[in-house]
Amino acid sequence: MITGLVFWVLGVLAVVSGALVFRFDSMARATYALAVSFIAVGAALLLLQLDYVGLVTVLMMVMEMAVMAIYMIMFMGMNPALMPMSMVHSRRTALGISAGVFLVLAAGIVTVPWPQRRAAPAADLTASLGETIMGSKMLVMMGISPVLFATVVAAVVLAAPRTRYDRFGDDLRSAPSDPHHGGVGR
């Protein structure tokens, strides 16, 4: 009973925070709302005992939102990311397409003859699902992970307003006299 209640609460949270992405008027708030939506979906998957898919959903989407926020700050600065703007363009067209896609997907769910299970489930569903999903692509994912990490580090470095080279020589206590850096100079 508690699990069912938590599942429905997570479902409502996922839908509401997903809808808030289009109601918020700043990219930063929309990013956080989208992250909350994905975390709620991942937690709901964990409740369904789809441990691998739930965990991967949470990890991938949280990292994606972090990368998006870093690039947003890097290219826009923090103030423009918080300034009001519309997340919806061509409102009527977007609503029409959204309603059409929803109706097609809902009709597909109801009308497709879903297959019945033919065999007993694997002893370890998580390992079996992980092997099925990642099988031949595990090496690729292991190669992409450090590249994504390096991208995040590079974005943070590029977004930083000052570096260690802004100082005068080896004296780390000195600061440049440039007023943009807030230093006091010598």
- pLDDT band, very low/low/confident/very high, at 7 (cuts 50, 70, 90): very high
The percentage of the chain sitting over the pLDDT mark of 70, rounded to a whole number, equals 78
Fill in the amino acid letter for 27.
Answer: M
- pLDDT band, very low/low/confident/very high, at 169 (cuts 50, 70, 90): low
Please, which residues have CB within 8 angstroms of residue 183's CB and are 6 or more apart in sequence? Answer: 166, 175, 176, 177
Higher pLDDT, 176 or 30: 30
Neighbours of 74 (CB within 10 A): 15
* pLDDT for 185: 47
Burial call 42-62: b when 16+ CB within 10 Å, e when fewer: bbbbbeeebebbbebbbeebe
| Alpha-carbon span 105 to 114, nearest angstrom | 14
Higher pLDDT, 79 or 43: 43
Predicted TM-score (pTM) above 0.85: no
Q: Quote the radius of gyration of the chain (alpha carbons, Å).
A: 23
Given a cut of 60, whether residue 94 has pLDDT beyond it is yes
> What is the secondary structure of 79-119 as a DSSP string?
HHHHS---S-SSHHHHHHHHHHHHHHHHHHHHHS-PPPP-S
